[in-house]
Amino acid sequence: MNTDLKKWNPFKFLRGSGRKPDADSPQSPPGSEPSRGPWPDIPRLFSRDPWRAMEDFLHDPFAARGTLERWFGDFSSSRFQPRIDVVDEGKILRVTVELPGMEREDVTVNVEDGALVLRGEKKQEVHSEEDGCYRLERAYGAFTRTIPMPENADPEHALAKFDKGVLTLTVPKQEPARSASRTIDIG
């Protein structure tokens, strides 16, 4: 009794692995075919040639980091970048910055060359003791974000409010200057 168990394979990208290539189609080397699965980066993480994978790892041990960050995100505090929303509400420009775990004193806002410049440093220390074991975790990360402002923004009258880890900046916009027109006599 010949039973084909491949049809029971839940991974769709492995179902077609037993197909024979067409005679008219060009042959590609193994491992170079594009993945049709839900996770196309898997072959880059797990090579079929372990010696090549080890050589790549020794050459650049953090090469796969970008792939993992795309999947899970980078949660290290050294790469902390606050989320920013910039909304043009007509007469004002509203900037909302998410700064979880930070205090008002940890952030500075400046206007430099027609742009808002946010600078800050996140410092976090966790101390705990359980059953005679002490744990101390430290995480630090600085950031700088630059937000260009429109030409008619009036940063002299900007307002900033910090509440529960959210910084809200309100920058009013000036009415565009109306040019005075006059007639020039031709002499």
Q: Is residue 32's pLDDT more than 70?
A: no
What six digits make up the tokens of 62?
Answer: 């953090």
The answer to whether 35 and 13 are in contact (CB under 8 A) is yes
pLDDT category of residue 71 using cuts at 50, 70 and 90: low
Alpha carbons 155 and 47: distance in angstroms, whole number: 54
76-86 pLDDT, tens digit per residue, is: 545 678 899 99
Question: In this model, does residue 162 exceed pLDDT 90?
Answer: yes
- Distance between CA 70 and CA 87 in Å, rounded? 27
Q: Residue 55: its pLDDT value, please?
A: 78
Overall pTM surpassing 0.95 (yes/no): no
CATH fold, domain 78-172, is Immunoglobulin-like (2.60.40)
CATH 2.60.40.790 boundaries in the chain: 78-172
Given a cut of 60, whether residue 19 has pLDDT beyond it is no
Beta strands of the chain (E only): which ranges? Answer: 83-88, 92-98, 107-112, 115-130, 133-148, 159-163, 166-172
Average pLDDT over residues 73-99: 81
